Amino acid sequence: MDCIFCKIIEGHIPAEKVYEDDFFIAILDINPVNKGHLLVLPKKHSENIFDLDEPELSQVMVVIKKLSKILMDTLNAEGINIIQNNCKAAGQIIFHSHFHIIPRYTGDGIKIGTVHGKYNEGEIKDFANRIREGIRK
């Protein structure tokens, strides 16, 4: 397997590791949105969120919460973005599950979560119904 994150986890590629337990590591992103931007990586290779089992997904959120609080406290961050991209169309570049924790500051100029579009008349109900139907299956 030619996965850069697996190579980092195995110690074959250097990274600034800030956290490690039996299941996850967290490293500083080398191309940060803001300084202190972390990547939380499951040690077990999985391509995206759909490959993570539920206990693993629950535990990674505990780690993300802990690290988010640490970023708030140690970097004086005023907020945190937690981002996880799945599949190429959603912007996933490295196909090993990972979560971004981005420290945020008032006036930092980063635009995440801005309004991009609106539903046409009646369209929101159609989408809601389609999603509800998928949940019932």
pLDDT digits (tens, 9 = 90+) for 35-69: 999 999 999 999 999 999 999 999 999 999 999 99
Domain ranges of the chain: 4-110
Scanning the structure block, which residue is given the tokens 């929101």? 124
Residue 13 CA to residue 27 CA, distance in Å, equals 12
**Residue 111's pLDDT band (cuts 50, 70, 90):** confident
Q: What is the DSSP string of 61-123?
A: HHHHHHHHHHHHHHS--SEEEEE---SGGGT--SSS--EEEEEE-TT-----S-----PPTTH
Known catalytic membership, residue 96 = no
- Fold that domain 4-110 belongs to in CATH: HIT family, subunit A (3.30.428)
Read off the pTM. 0.90
Residue 24: strand pairing partners: 42
The catalytic residue among 37, 45, 96, 98 is 98
Residue 39: strand pairing partners: 27, 100
